[in-house]
Structure 1
């Protein structure tokens, strides 16, 4: 049975004592890399932060180089996301197989619309987790969140069922969930989302706050958890984010040390310090395609340190990818009085 950890990165980072040692001694630190295979997308999300207009994609040769160098750098996990919609890349299945051959764990975030049986089988075989971003429990809400007509919503629902069936048929251990971004606009569909996710075979429905929206879901989350959760289905939430709403939207640390453990490679073969700042030149670590460099050359360049020194966390979104383990890492760097006396 799949055990869900509650999506708390602050506890995850402490599991990598070797990486923390490397961090303190300036050596290999990468744990997870977000990888954008393509900027092409088949949805029209009104609040999209992607860059699907330019249609950039990684070539197969670039994917091979990235996989090889991530392995050499000791990277542990790859989250295939976007950018655009990863299922639309022509080498999607080959990319999964290649990354897995290097021993890396693979997570996949998708809108689910382009899922087919052969892709579902590859996901079941190679991925550690697969999350379909549904963000609705009705065609009406799906139109608001994804900008798509009812036929697209119904197709995604049928694809959730398809993935569930493939997982059962193959005996796969992939953690298969659906995702829902909460806000004052989407709150009315929270129960319908959980209901349709459970009915169509997802292993869990996960709530996460929409960036910058502090809508309180605590009472509704508790009610839905009590009503729908059982041994085969879980109601989850990124509680480490919701529980900190009262602290405000700022950051308590002055350095983004998380960038040494988590990074992003975009569909135009550039590496950035943070997934929230794709295409921001201030966060650019290196342009592998434009500069003719390998990923290892870019990662080991002096520019990485320049980016680190220039990042102001107060310019970053609240509860970002690196936030929870930045708090932990900030504690490691703090000069504590009388630290010898535990």
Structure 2
């Protein structure tokens, strides 16, 4: 497994039919949908983008919101019939707290839709673990600590929760299913000197890779850059040490970087809107995970969970065509690199495209 095979901004180009529809400005189903089934969470991470005071993400989130199971069943059925390729369950809250999730995973997986989740891993056991082992493509656990004490401080959980998480992860990898278990290690000032130690711990319980990510502490790119400037040399040395742990079955995926001082977008169209969208626990559809639960990112509300009718409506298609990131997205954007690639493709002169 290589970094590029799991994390790559170029994945969209493996879907030529959808790319052709986008270039021709023809409506098509999204390739990938993030579903936030529940906004309640059993952790309280100090840096959570949906709950931290200094971040705009989730500024209108109702922490009690939960998609009714009937609505989510209808959504899942629509996604299968539309030919959506993949669904990731994420937060909002902790997706594995949604009791009926194994049933929904079964509907999607049984219909040929690949399934994944971003989770804190506390409930990766029992029926939840069974469902992902049977139908999941990947599970990624967000972690930020290396001891029970530091984990409890970062997340407001009881002492011993980190040990229980490691047990859940070890039990999941022991199943030897095709579902890839990975870790997203969120790096900040407190754990900057513990990156290699953390990677060694996660390798010991059988995870396939650890993705290294810098914590986002503010809407301002300059503030984020200043925060990471103080620790980036320490982190760089730790990454060198962590890479010595790599084997054929364990990889370090280095996405840690000093965030740019400006979040300005120079392109006028968000091409990724056609390939990825977000359904929130409030029953609304959003442009992306970076604008979920914000008025600026709200495309509209589903009517009784009928995603197909919503997506192909004239109003929504007009919204997608008219959305301008250079005006609306002066903040961190997970799709920025992907949008720059797509923007370059869209601007190619077709008469010269054969001269590769």
TM-score (norm 1): 0.87
Once the two structures are TM-superposed, the CA of residue 20 in structure 1 deviates from its matched residue by: 0.6
1:201/1:280 CA distance change after superposition, 3 Å? same
Indicate which of 286, 289, 314 corresponds to 1:275. Answer: 289
Once the two structures are TM-superposed, the CA of residue 335 in structure 1 deviates from its matched residue by: 5.6
Once the two structures are TM-superposed, the CA of residue 85 in structure 1 deviates from its matched residue by: 0.8
1:142 counterpart residue number: 151
**How many angstroms apart in 2 are the aligned matches of 1:120 and 1:337?**
48
**How many angstroms apart in 2 are the aligned matches of 1:107 and 1:293?**
21
2:27 counterpart residue number: 27
**How many angstroms apart in 2 are the aligned matches of 1:283 and 1:7?**
27
> Are the counterparts in 2 of residues 20 and 29 from structure 1 also a CA contact under 8 Å?
no
Indicate which of 164, 167, 173 corresponds to 2:173. Answer: 164
**How many angstroms apart in 2 are the aligned matches of 1:234 and 1:340?**
36
| Structure 2 residue 108 is the aligned partner of structure 1 residue 99 | yes
**How many angstroms apart in 2 are the aligned matches of 1:236 and 1:335?**
31
> Are the counterparts in 2 of residues 133 and 179 from structure 1 also a CA contact under 8 Å?
yes
**How many angstroms apart in 2 are the aligned matches of 1:123 and 1:340?**
42
> Are the counterparts in 1 of residues 286 and 297 from structure 2 also a CA contact under 8 Å?
yes
Which digits, 9 at most, give the CA deviation of each residue in 1:67-122, with x for residues without a partner?
12222332111011111111111101111111101101111111011222332222
Equivalent position SS for 2:296: helix
1:231 counterpart residue number: 248
How many residue pairs align between the two structures? 331
1:153 counterpart residue number: 162
1:322 counterpart residue number: 335
Equivalent position SS for 1:207: strand
Indicate which of 86, 90, 115 corresponds to 1:77. Answer: 86
> Are the counterparts in 1 of residues 65 and 281 from structure 2 also a CA contact under 8 Å?
yes
Q: Report matched runs for 1:88-237 at 5 Å.
A: 88-165=97-174, 167-168=175-176, 172-211=177-216, 213-214=224-225, 215=228, 216=232, 217-226=235-244, 228-237=245-254
> Are the counterparts in 1 of residues 267 and 326 from structure 2 also a CA contact under 8 Å?
yes
Runs (5+) with no aligned partner, structure 1: none
1:63/1:292 CA distance change after superposition, 3 Å? closer
Once the two structures are TM-superposed, the CA of residue 277 in structure 1 deviates from its matched residue by: 1.1
2:55 counterpart residue number: none
Runs (5+) with no aligned partner, structure 2: 51-57
Indicate which of 292, 303, 306 corresponds to 2:315. Answer: 303
**How many angstroms apart in 2 are the aligned matches of 1:247 and 1:29?**
35
**How many angstroms apart in 1 are the aligned matches of 2:261 and 2:4?**
23
Once the two structures are TM-superposed, the CA of residue 30 in structure 1 deviates from its matched residue by: 1.0
| Structure 2 residue 271 is the aligned partner of structure 1 residue 257 | yes
Once the two structures are TM-superposed, the CA of residue 316 in structure 1 deviates from its matched residue by: 3.2
Moved more, 63-72 or 180-189: 180-189
Root-mean-square deviation over aligned CA pairs: 2.6
Once the two structures are TM-superposed, the CA of residue 21 in structure 1 deviates from its matched residue by: 0.6
**How many angstroms apart in 2 are the aligned matches of 1:315 and 1:209?**
24
Moved more, 210-219 or 110-119: 210-219
